[in-house]
Amino acid sequence: MPRKTIICRCEDITLVEVEEALALGYRDVESIKRYLALGTGACQGKMCLALLARVLLERGVAPDEIKPMVSRAPLAGAPLAAFAAEKERA
Amino acid sequence: MAGPKTIIIGGGIVGLSLAWNLARRGWTDLTVLDRDHLNAGASARCGGGVRSQWSTADNIRIMKRSTELFASFPADTGFNNWFRQEGYLFLAYTDEQAAMFEQNHRLQKENGVDSELLSPAQIKAKAPTINTDGVVVGAFHQKDGVCFPFAMVWGYAKACRRLGVQVLPFHEVIGLEVAGEKITQVVTNRGRFAADLVINGAAVWSPNIGRMCGVELPNCAEKHEAIVTEPLHPFLGACLIPMDSGMYLAQTMRGEIYACVGLEKGPATDYDHTFAFAQKISRLMIRLIPRLAGVKMLRQWGGFYDLTPDTNPIVGFVDRPSNFYQYHGLMGHGFMFAPALSEMIAEHLVAGKLHPDIAPYGLARFKSGGLEVEKMIIG
């Protein structure tokens, strides 16, 4: 992959930046996410996680050490009005 | 002289900012242990707010200093913390809240904080998008602001390592070995560390650490939740706190809106996100800024406030073991207090100078009923 390959489109993170994070010793997905803000944009990791996993594998991280970032609600972005309009719970 | 062999338990902003302050003063035989990756705990889950608008004189003074340190952080550490000083705007809806704002405002002025009280018309002029129905008065301080939490942790970690501090994530403390009056060894899942001095900076997990050497701590973990929206064009300068709900809401440098509000009081054992929270916060956000109705929520998450019985931190040595220093109980505002508190604590440890603003924070105070209660704890 060319060094300027975009890994995370939402946050404009390139391969070079992922390699810099690796060089600093951050080899797990959660650390890299927090160091680069990779996966924190509009897609919440849906687009970039597979690419990051591939880069980590290619750089020698063991497959069982590559865990996906924690998935949280909502599953997909939804307007605040949709959450607010729910009836009060008893 | 590299100082005593010091082990700091907890690699959040508390542990790392203290390590950096100690290392700068010549104590470089330092190891910071964290059980998880960096930015896993409260320092990364918080909103990143930084304000001097408090209701007790010591909190006002400490935060005045901390705000200066947030502003100089990029120059001090070489790491951009994205600190944006566009103020905190509190909104009062009752005469009682308005009276508290006036009292706080006087105390803030006396302590060198240039806050101001705003009429509803002035609030509307400052933040045209917000609904001011029912607002009696606002309290504003321009130098308050919002910072990117991850960057503070990375910045301190980087600056620490540059000074020779060992910062070790994925090292979980599983035991403390005591010989006579002192802790001699800190045992982790990845090996043992000899220690002359041990600092407990593990926030809501501090009581677990204390119990490893027979120290009982009164901290209570209270769950708080937050959400973040898709990024928007910058339109909101100040961090908003409507006092009818206690919500806080701000726009980050990246354009997202994040908001938090309390849901359940009392001790919690998890910080899982809940639908009840998503509903409550969405309603409050739309009521305050109606145009947010169509904005998408991207993510919700939870974290812990590290509460103490009298709303004040626990800082200082305990009687036994004599080399065990406490630094926790920061009430959900540890992120903003840590830079200034760590500076004072480093002076205490290295130079033996106990700053009068932290002197009352020893654990022993709970035997005599505790301290003055802070009224401006939000979220």
Query: Domain spans of chain B?
Result: 6-45+150-218+309-368, 85-143+220-307
CB within 8 Å: B298 and A37: no
> Mean per-residue pLDDT for B181-207?
98
H/E stretch holding B92? strand B88-92
CA A6 to CA A14: how far, in whole Å? 4
Q: Map tokens 């650490």 to a residue.
A: B209
Mean pLDDT of B176-198: 98
CATH classification code of B85-143+220-307: 3.30.9.10
Architecture of domain A6-84: Orthogonal Bundle (1.10)
Residue of B nearest to A87 (CA): B279
Å between A84 CA and nearest CA of chain B: 5
pLDDT band per the 50, 70, 90 thresholds, residue B378: confident
Q: What is the pLDDT of residue B266?
A: 85
Amino acid code (one letter) for B314: I
> How much is the pLDDT for B377?
81
In which element (H, E) is residue B258 found? strand B257-261
Chain-chain contact of B278 with A74 (C-beta, under 8 angstroms) = yes
**What one-letter code names the amino acid at A74?**
P
Contacts of B217 (CB under 8 A, 6+ apart): B206, B207, B210, B314, B326, B328, B329, B363
Q: Which residues pair with B229 in a beta bridge?
A: B297
Ramachandran angles phi, psi of B54, nearest 5° = -125, 180
What was the pLDDT predicted at B368? 83
Q: Cα angle vertex B276, ends B270, B280, to 5°?
A: 120
Min Cα separation A25/chain B (Å)? 11
Q: Distance from B299 to chain A by nearest Cα, in Å?
A: 6
What is the reported pLDDT for B375? 80
The CA distance from B9 to B171, in Å, is 9
pLDDT of residue A90: 43
Q: Could you tell me how far CA B358 lies from the centroid of its own chain?
A: 16
User: What is the value of ipTM here, to two decimals?
Assistant: 0.90
* pLDDT score of B175 more than 50: yes
Averaged confidence pLDDT in chain B: 96
Report the alpha-carbon distance of residue B295 to residue A77 in Å, rounded: 9
The residue among A22, A46, A83, A89 with the most chain B CBs within 10 A of its CB, best to mutate, is A83
Q: Superfamily for B6-45+150-218+309-368?
A: FAD/NAD(P)-binding domain (3.50.50.60)
Neighboring chain B residues of A30 at a CB cutoff of 8 Å? 37, 40
pLDDT class of A88 with cuts at 50, 70, 90: low
Question: CB distance A83–B279 less than 8 Å?
Answer: yes
pLDDT of residue B235: 95
In the predicted structure, residue A86 carries a pLDDT above the cut 90: no
From B259, which residue of chain A is nearest by alpha-carbon distance?
A80
When pLDDT is averaged across residues B25-32 and rounded to a whole number, the result is 97
